C-alpha cells in the first residue's frame, strides 16, 4: 500500500541527547514536511523540502535539523539545543508545488518524551 510511515511511534530520550525521527513515503511525492504539535494546540511547521537535496526552515526550526538525500526519506533530528523537545511530531508529503492537487498526506506521528 502507498503511504507515509513514521517510526518509532513512541520515543524516549534523556535530556541532552540528540534523537532522529524517521519519515518514509512511497507516494513518489516531491515535497515533504515536518510539524510539531503540543497538547491542545495546532500544528507548527519545523522544516520542509520541495525536492531532493534541498530544504527550508519553517516557523520553529531552531534546535532541529533535517536531510533530504533521497526522495522517499526526510529524517528529522531533534538536537540537544531544542529547549522543549517533548511533543508529538508529524511528517507529511505532497505532490510538488505548482500542481493543483496539493492535498498533503500525514504519517501517524511520533510522540517524543524527554526524561
Partner 1 sequence: DAKTTQPTSMDCAEGRAANLPCNHSTISGNEYVYWYRQIHSQGPQYIIHGLKNNETNEMASLIITEDRKSSTLILPHATLRDTAVYYCIVRVWGNAGNMLTFGGGTRLMVKP
Which parts of this chain interact with partner 1 (CB under 8 A)? 31, 33, 35, 41-45, 48, 50, 56, 58, 88, 90, 92, 94, 96-100, 102-109, 111
C-alpha cell at 8: 518509532
Q: Are 84 and 38 in contact (CB under 8 A)?
A: no
Q: How far is the CB of 87 from partner 1 (least distance, A)?
A: 12
Q: How far is the CB of 76 from partner 1 (least distance, A)?
A: 15
The smaller minimum CB distance to partner 1, of residues 82 and 94, is found at 94
Q: Quote the radius of gyration of the chain (alpha carbons, Å).
A: 13
Q: What torsion do the CA atoms of 89, 93, 94, 96 make, to the nearest 10 degrees?
A: 110
The smaller minimum CB distance to partner 1, of residues 13 and 44, is found at 44
Amino acid at each position: 500500500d502507498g503511504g507515509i510511515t513514521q517510526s518509532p511511534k513512541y520515543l524516549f530520550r534523556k535530556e541532552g541527547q540528540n534523537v532522529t525521527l524517521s519519515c518514509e513515503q512511497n507516494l513518489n511525492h516531491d515535497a515533504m514536511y515536518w510539524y510539531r504539535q503540543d497538547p491542545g494546540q495546532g500544528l507548527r511547521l519545523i522544516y520542509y523540502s520541495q525536492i531532493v537535496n534541498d530544504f527550508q526552515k519553517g516557523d520553529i526550526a531552531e534546535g532541529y535539523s533535517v536531510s533530504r538525500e533521497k526522495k522517499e526519506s526526510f529524517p528529522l533530528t531533534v538536537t540537544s539545543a531544542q529547549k522543549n523537545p517533548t511533543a508529538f511530531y508529524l511528517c507529511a508529503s505532497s505532490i510538488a508545488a505548482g500542481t493543483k492537487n496539493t492535498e498533503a498526506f500525514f504519517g501517524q506521528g511520533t510522540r517524543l518524551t524527554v526524561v
